[in-house]
Chains A and B, each alone.
Chain A
Amino acid sequence: MTFKDFKNEVFEYIKNKKLDGAELYKKRKIKSSMSTFQEKIDRFSESDTFGISFKVIKNKKAGYSYTEIMNSDSAKRLVEDAIDNLEITVSDYEEELFNGSSEYPEIKNAYVEAFESLTSDDKFKKLTEFVKGIENSDERIVFVPVNGVSHDTQEIRIVNTEGLDVSFKHDGGYIYAMAVGKEGDSTKTGVAVDISKDPEKFKIKKMIDRISSDIRYSLGAKPVKSGKYDLIIRNNILGEFLLTFMQMFSAESIQRGFSPLENKLNQMIASKTVTLIDDPLLTDSAVSRIFDDQGVPTKKKTMIENGKLTTYLYDLRTAKKDGVKSTGNAIKLRDYTDKPSIMPFNVVLKPGEKNFEELVQTLDNGIVITSLDGLHSGADNVTGEFSLGASGFLVENGKIVRGVEEITVSGNFLSVLEKIDVVGNDSVFSSQGLLGDNILAYVPSVIVKNMDIAGS
């Protein structure tokens, strides 16, 4: 059965159900990934799957269901399940469907097909070059057990009884490696990931240098004494860290009392150096979109301007509650079945002037944080409190002198924003695994003053 026939069947079946509206959301995902081990392909995967999620509205309440089968039986089941789920839902939100807009933005090159034109031999060659480059960069690097290249194409279509019918297709991919280095009793790993819409734009050389120098510095790493330190949080790690706390900006978290940003609108919540933007239309980002997962047009917005909180992020129902317009930030984070979360698409921290080396000089004495562990367990979105395992490099007199391991960084997310002293210019894309691959950060490294470190 085609989607068109399935849609007709569903919309026909709901006619005598006394509903106020219904919406079908279909996502097709074509995905390919490859990894190598000892100069051979080790894993290879290809897939083409779809899923349909369904939403019904009655008396301003919503019910949800989903299916991966398109036939008459599943159409009926889809409707019945959604209505059952609606019946038990009690919500102080008024649910509604979006009726479309004449003003959808444009993204040039959303679907560039650069990955699709690669053969599996091309990918293998690219990956092998990358891995060999890492292995040859330093004799202490023993091997590269984890590596891979992966890309996907996503097609989203949303159709509802209010007349909305929109679709969008986009693609992108990433390459990654983790290398293991050994010296004496010390074993250390170095990791690098690059995210792009075009495999030709992967910064392979930069990634090799990063892995190589990370391992070089961190072999023989030791903890530092517990105390207060100035830190550089390196670009990709800052990205993961910021994404972890973005739920705070969701109007739903605010309205439900699950955010420390409650009552902070138009107040200073960060240092003046901080300007944080959500740019869903960012060129070269693999997750940029022209409408969100409720069909609302996306737009660029400043969340923090020179330290001042300027807006919360909204979907349809939270916007209705606050009497404002949706900011177009409803996102199904991981799967098509997910209820949309309210999140930024591309979190961008406005860059400053200094490159990474200049940041290290400016730091003078402190620690460069190159990895944070436990973001899924040691960071609390509701309070902003965090306590995370970390490793990195010790900086003395403006120079990296040795590796640092087995330390814990703790504090509060908002106090980190206040303590950001200098913002660098080395922005990179990064993602936060637990939040899925539909949102990204594009941020540089920063200097944060006076943070709590637990070590030896």
Chain B
Amino acid sequence: MIDKKLASDMLSAVLKEGADFAELFIEDRYSANVNMVNGDIDNALSGKSFGVGIRALKENLGVYGYTNDLSKDTLLKVAQKVGKATKGDNSEQQNLDFTDQEKENKHFFRISPEDVGSQEISKLMEEAHNGAISYSETISQVMVRFLSYDQNVWIYNSEGLATSDRRVRTRLVVMAVATKDGVKETGFYGPGAAMGYEFFDVVNPYDVGVRAGRIASRMVEADFAPAEKMPVIIANEFGGVIFHEACGHSLEATSVAKGSSVFAGKLGEKIAADNVSAVDDGTIPNAWGSANIDDEGNPTRRNLLIEKGILKGYLVDKLNGRRLQMKPTSSSRRQNYKYAPTSRMSNTFILCGNYYPEEIISNTEYGLYARSMGGGSVVPATGEFNFSVREGYLIKDGKISKPVRGATLVGKGSEILKKIDMIGNDLERGQGMCGSASGMIPVDVGQPTLRVSELTVGGRNE
């Protein structure tokens, strides 16, 4: 292990070479991953990763080095190398004194992944499999994935910060395939939380399977979605991926600081319809995207992003904060020690409006109801986005009519936000993995059911 003395020596070695800030990130992680295919466990993998990341800042330059060779010599050498790369002037360094940060754990867990028997996991996964396979005769294949990890991090920096966090997370993912007349469609559901194995006291694995089975079997019966512009109602929970992709990424300081975001320089300006307010909240107890501290060691918080359509804030990390001359917002995250941290989302969602979801549907003469969303992507500089609709229905005369498959939603973030004309009162969050500059991290997306007055639906003209 790396004690405080060695941590201090490493940070001093970085500063001595002329860096104006040095930071140490130590990570010890145990992960367990189990895959079940068609009812049999095909693959189970577990193991430990351990490594150290050393970061130096000098003005607007960020240097990062990492290793998992933990000999004192190597660690000091890496520290020196990282410091040298800042090309600063040598300076005499005093030993650093650390003040232990006061901490309050908001994310209690009961059962660590290391203490769960593999037999128990396999039983649980079988239930999830059964939920999907018994939903309909059209379900032809089912894949179930169980993943959990126990991550311990220690963070020291040259401002005297010494802190640590333990993050335990558990997730169950079911993918079902339905086949009919040679056509195949997939359904997916994957709830997760910052909890241990006790997650399954609140989430029933059988129900997770049922939901994936439902999507696949409904979609395999569906016709292709038409390709045209129309009103789109996006359901709550994972529907929030649209905000995450189309807006959230463009509010990360990573893209704002360099002026490459459509929302750069727009603080205080109106960027969304009056009814839209949104936050990024890393403090929600046991939420999938939560933690006690961010990966720069700052206690997490609830950041207001948009209030009644006005842009109120960005997600800022230390380095990009220097460029923007803004204080960090506790939004610095990374996949593991192999990545330098940068501004990322945690649990990001649009706040409730006044409508019952049923009202929104009954007020829509013709349109698409996107009941479950798949993933999507966005080009931050232009805000152009693309989402797949996993489970869609056509709305006719204010009623949900037939299911449609193969729909995608295409548009620009800045435009869609202004076209949200009805927001429901049924806020829910869904879980996902978000990939960006600092790797894949767990995030919650969320929103109430809402309507976009007009959006391009990519489908098929036959």
Contact = CB atoms under 8 A, between A and B. Distances in A.
> Do A and B form a real pair?
yes
B381 interface: yes
B384 A89 contact: no
A226 B46 contact: no
A223 interface: yes
A257 B141 contact: yes
B408 A387 contact: yes
B42 A88 contact: no
B45 interface: yes
Contact of A387 (B37, B41, B63, B407): B407
Residue among A65, A67, A405, A408 with the highest chain B CB neighbour number at 10 A:
A408
A376 interface: yes
A68 B44 CA distance: 18
B51 A68 contact: yes
B118 A145 contact: no
A51 B122 contact: no
Contact of A47 (B67, B456, B461): B67
A67 B384 CA distance: 41
B382 interface: yes
B308 interface: no
Interface in A173-200: 178, 180, 187-189
Nearest to A181: B381
A280 to B, nearest CB: 24
Interface string B378-402: 1101101111100000000000000
Given A258-B141, A387-B407, A67 B382 contact: no
A410 B458 contact: yes
A374 B375 contact: yes
A147 to B, nearest CB: 11
Interface in A39-65: 40-51, 53, 63-65
Contact of A49 (B41, B47, B66): B66
Contacts of A388: 386, 408, 458
Q: On chain B, which size bracket covers the interface?
A: 35 or more
A77 interface: yes
B136 interface: no
Contacts of B375: 374, 376-377
Nearest to A65: B47
A51 B66 CA distance: 13
A376 B456 contact: no
B199 to A, nearest CB: 19
Contacts of B49: 51, 66-68, 337
Contacts of B131: none
B458 A373 contact: no
B429 to A, nearest CB: 19
B85 A64 contact: no
Given A43-B340, A382-B184, A389-B385, A145 B461 contact: no
Contacts of A146: 260
Interface stretch (A79-87, A127-135, A158-166, A357-365): A79-87
Nearest to A371: B379
Given A258-B177, A373-B379, A408-B456, A383 B262 contact: no
Given A180-B260, A187-B381, A373 B386 contact: yes
A186 B34 CA distance: 47
A64 B43 contact: yes
Contacts of A408: 227, 386, 408, 410, 456, 458-459
Interface string A124-152: 00000000000000000001011000000
Nearest to A29: B338
B377 A88 contact: no
Interface residues of A, number: 77
B85 A46 contact: yes
A258 B141 CA distance: 8
A430 to B, nearest CB: 17
Contacts of A377: 374-377, 386-388
Given A90-B41, A145-B259, A68 B384 contact: no
Contacts of B379: 189, 373
B206 interface: no
B121 A88 contact: yes
A145 B260 contact: yes
Contacts of A42: 60-62
B47 A337 contact: yes
A146 B340 CA distance: 16
Contact of A89 (B41, B63, B186): B41
A374 B387 contact: yes
Interface string A362-394: 000000000001101110101101011101000
A391 B81 CA distance: 43
B40 interface: yes
A401 interface: no
Interface in A328-353: 337, 339
B48 A44 contact: no
A223 B456 contact: yes
B85 A68 contact: no
A65 B456 contact: no
Contacts of B229: 456
Contacts of A49: 51, 66-68, 338
A86 B140 CA distance: 26
Contacts of B45: 64-66, 85, 337, 339
Nearest to A53: B47
B461 A227 contact: yes
A456 B410 CA distance: 11
B321 to A, nearest CB: 15
Contacts of B63: 43-45
A426 interface: no
Interface string B392-434: 0000000000000011101110000000000000000000000
A85 B456 contact: no
Contacts of A86: 44
A422 interface: no
B103 interface: no
Nearest to A374: B386
Contacts of B376: 374, 377-378
A383 B65 contact: no
Nearest to A226: B227
B409 to A, nearest CB: 9
A69 interface: yes
A50 B61 contact: no
A250 to B, nearest CB: 13
B228 interface: yes
A452 B408 CA distance: 13
Given A145-B259, A410-B406, 14 more contacts: A43-B61, A67-B49, A68-B51, A85-B118, A91-B42, A146-B260, A187-B262, A189-B382, A374-B388, A378-B374, A389-B385, A389-B408, A408-B456, A454-B457
